Amino acid sequence: MTLPILPREPAGEAPIARRDPRPGLSGVEPAELRSWLVARDMPAWRTRQVFDALWRGTAASTDDVRTLPGPLRAAIAEAFRFDTVGDTEIRLSDGGLTEKALHQLSDGALVESVLMHYPARGRQRERHTLCISSQAGCAVGCPFCATGELGFTRDLETAEILDQVRHAARRLALDGRRLTNVVFMGMGEPLLNLDNVLAAIAALSDPARFGLGARHVTVSTSGVVPGIERLTALGPQFTLAVSLHAARDPLRDALVPLNRRWPVADVVRAAREHARATGRRITYEVTMIDGINDTPGDAAALAALLAGDHAHVNLIPMNPVAHTPWQASPMPVIEGFAAKLRASGISTTIRRNRGQEIGAACGQLAAERAGEPTAPAVARRRERIVRESAAALRGERSREPLASGVGD
């Protein structure tokens, strides 16, 4: 199934359209909407009708909401965007079990979401998990991530985050199915857009809106320590995932540039305190890169770093990323790495990649639409990655500056 193909953006250029100034309706708080309706001499109970149409129905526009009178539909359409997600391309993979969506926002920015279906097995119920984006592009710049190649465009509004969920929920509803899990592991660093991410989670977990339990939501971070500490103070019950990728500072400097601001020990210390305060197990993600972070020494360092923690480790073979001189670790190497962690008492899972033929990894489809960078730019990127990773493997800390606005 393929929906309208998005126009190709010129390589390296930011969206040129002006963002629609109307707020997205899904990002409006119930009390705000109620006040807006009452101010227009509408009964407060219309709020429930609007939210039912927004969160529980299959309406794609205000015109589809036939429970509301025509004049009110027109007023809502004039004041709000019923859906902030515009043209969308969907690619299917794995026999329909993986759906990659590329969404275009009102200013031309591109963001991605991935819907993954897991059939019922034994005692495990059927699951439908959506991976969503919190930013257009990403400023962190991890070299094994396709989003890092795109650079940073902007933070997403709360409604732009939520409407990725609504888009997937409408598709599921056509078959009588419902979204069971949401993970903030798409484009961007969620804790660098934390206010809007928290507002989106509040809407997702609100019984009057989407009604998804907080424990069915996972928020991933590459290690923004102040953001983790803020979450700990709030005491949320969603799952915190940390994109760790390496347990040694020199290597993590190269793989996760934020490590130059918040070293790995500080990140794990903050995550450990979060687990202690919330009682929720921390998930650590490690992208396995052949010959870079998959050695017995890396396994031993990771086991020592997480010893005694309430934690789980996901080992993920690296997805192919254009212009990066690396490849995924061979499966026997990953299995050996996992065995060493398990022998140290650390719960570990090897996560098989899905949808590689449709570019289902974060940022791959958006990077494809952005166009090929110039050959000199590709050569410079590869040279820098090779230089930094070689220095990291020698145990040298990076002296490269962070991108503007990251780690401030």
Q: Edge-to-edge strands of the sheet including 110-118? A: 88-93, 98-104, 110-118, 127-131, 181-184, 217-221, 239-243, 282-288, 311-317, 347-350
Check 138, 157, 362, 388 and give the catalytic one: 362
The first and second tokens of residue 331, run together, are 């499966």
Among 286, 285, 280, CA closest to 309: 280
CB 102 within 8 A of CB 366: yes
With a CB cutoff of 8 Å and minimum separation 6, the contacts of 206 are: 30
Is there a catalytic annotation at residue 142?
Answer: no
Rounded to a whole number of angstroms, the distance between the first and last alpha carbons of the chain is 43
Is there a catalytic annotation at residue 362?
Answer: yes
Q: Which long-range contacts (CB under 8 A, 24 or more apart) does 29-32 make?
A: 30/206, 30/208, 30/209
Check 112, 149, 157, 388 and give the catalytic one: 112
Measured in degrees and rounded to the nearest 5, phi and psi for residue 319 equal -75, 150
Separation CA 51–CA 73 (nearest Å): 13
Q: What is the largest CA-CA distance in the chain?
A: 70
Separation CA 332–CA 351 (nearest Å): 14
Active centre residues (catalytic) = 112, 362
